[in-house]
Structure 1
Amino acid sequence: MKAGLLLLLLSFTAFAKDTLSIGIPTNKPPYSFQDKGIIIDILKKVFDEQKFKLKFIPLQNEEIDYSLRKSKIDISTITHLKYKNLYYSSNYLAFDDVAITLEEKKLNIKTIRDLDGLSLVSWKGAPKVLGTEYQKLAQKNRHRWLEVPLQYHQNKMFWTKKTDVLVCDLAIFLWMKSKLSLKGINTIKKYKIHRIFDGPIYQHAGFKNRKLRDYFDSRIEIIKSNGEYQSVFDSYKNPT
């Protein structure tokens, strides 16, 4: 494996700059925030054997793909659409998106259709990635369903009963639950997780250079097999 990685490294040495610019989502704890997060730590472990300086550039979700296409960054860490002449990694990250309600509201949500008519808050751009049925209902309920950019505010709305439903990645929800508790907000109420979406949304990293993509894929497999990948997730189980 090491010999193969060395060959990959040598094959893109001519490409390699001193600095790799990497597009990351803006303020998406625990995935990326304040120069740290799961995505940032994973990328650091991928390239820790090389001498690249990694420059992490926070971008809005819709800007990440565009910046890679326009060669403003070398790597995109969140991919929404795949484009020709770009290279994409295997699945390296999964968002576990769920619908969440407070038990006291006694809402029976078994399908996406059951969200119709309820007040709901999600992240900005959620309808683009949660499927056509969700997208149609979001348009129908556009005055009830809010897309709020900051996840802190999304989760605060949920715990302060400003909305019936929160649509959120489970890791983000659990992180924010603890974070809001530290801010004095009551987050000990019982809640229900409704798995109404089609499984995890797998993320691919995007690249301008195929050899760099190949190296990334090889290193991801290594850090998954040696436990370093999981150790990153474990380190973000509780906010500090």
Structure 2
Amino acid sequence: MRASPTIHALWVLFAAICLSPSVTAQSPSLHPKLIEIATRENLPPYVVGGAAHGIEIDLVRAIFDYSDYEPVFIQQPRVRMITAFESGQINGILTQHVLASNIGCSTDWYIAHQNVALTLASRNLTIEGLDDLKGLSVLSFSGATRYLGPEFQEAVTQTKRYTESGDQSKHIQLLYKGRFDTVVGDRWILALAQKSQFTETGEYLELKRHPIMKPSLYVARFHDQKICDAFNLGLRRLRADGTYAEIWNGYRQSLAVMNDRDGDLPQ
């Protein structure tokens, strides 16, 4: 789930995005309590511009708009995030698997990552599951065999050629050129890569999306049960009043090269 689009492309893609949630808190404090929350290093479109924006950042800010808390995002590498939280240096941590830890309290799931395989629509390939990667040349992000689990790791041992690369902004270009049969990664990171390719070169080829894995659902963790409760309450209200879907839809529209009506958004 890693991406590193160029700074120029990010400015082009996100300068016009103003996704301040249109949510009014029910009874906010005049002096909200600041809470430090560990989040990932820049991972467009989830965490962008020093955690100023991004799908995940905008969702969490909107969730806490309903509370007396104000999040302060501390960007760290994954291992440092966990260490800082477990040692009590910070109040909370984002993007955690619900079973990854028993320290503090776990919130309800608030964000999903959907890993997909992309192929050129013109090739009309059918990929309905991991087994269908057999015999194909596959490109994925650095560490994919570690992050996507043992079933994915086993599947890629049967591919014609398997390569991992950290610069996902180049993956679409390599797919367009026919260097690989399919690219595997997070749906929205790859959407950003295709948008970046179009913005920089004007080149666009229709791609087919294959949801070869179930979505991974992530929670936040906090040391204080009151913060977990406030988070869950805000999340429920966000989903109920439509703001949750509004944030996701805003990013989907901004990332689409052409009209994208394929697939439901996580709710």
TM-score, normalised with respect to structure 1: 0.78
1:112 aligns with one of 114, 126, 130: 130
2:238 aligns with one of 213, 223, 237: 223
Per-residue deviation at 1:226?
A: 1.1
CA distance in 2, matches of 1:239, 1:108: 25
1:14 alignment partner in structure 2: none
2:11 alignment partner in structure 1: none
2:85 alignment partner in structure 1: 68
**CA offsets, 1:96-136, max 9 Å, x none?**
22111113444332321221343322233333443422122
**Count of matched residue pairs:** 226
1:190 aligns with one of 206, 210, 220: 206
1:168 aligns with one of 157, 182, 185: 185
The runs of 5 or more residues in structure 1 that have no matched partner are: 11-16
1:127 alignment partner in structure 2: 145
Per-residue deviation at 1:41?
A: 0.9
2:108 aligns with one of 76, 90, 94: 90
1:180 aligns with one of 192, 197, 218: 197
Residue type at the aligned position of 1:193: R
The runs of 5 or more residues in structure 2 that have no matched partner are: 1-25, 257-267
* Aligned partners of 1:119 and 1:164 also within 8 Å: yes
What aligned pairs does 1:147-166 form with structure 2 within 5 A after superposition? Answer: 147-166=164-183
CA distance in 1, matches of 2:83, 2:120: 38
Per-residue deviation at 1:91?
A: 1.5
Q: What's the % identity of the aligned pairs?
A: 24
Residue type at the aligned position of 2:40: P
CA distance in 1, matches of 2:246, 2:41: 23
TM-score, normalised with respect to structure 2: 0.71
1:27 alignment partner in structure 2: 42
Per-residue deviation at 1:52?
A: 4.5
2:118 alignment partner in structure 1: 100
What aligned pairs does 1:202-213 form with structure 2 within 5 A after superposition? Answer: 202-213=217-228
2:57 alignment partner in structure 1: 40
SS of aligned partner of 1:168:
strand
**CA offsets, 1:132-179, max 9 Å, x none?**
2212234x3699433333432334433444322111222333333222
Residues 114 and 171 of structure 1: is their aligned pair in 2 closer, same or farther, counting only changes over 3 Å?
same
2:229 alignment partner in structure 1: 214
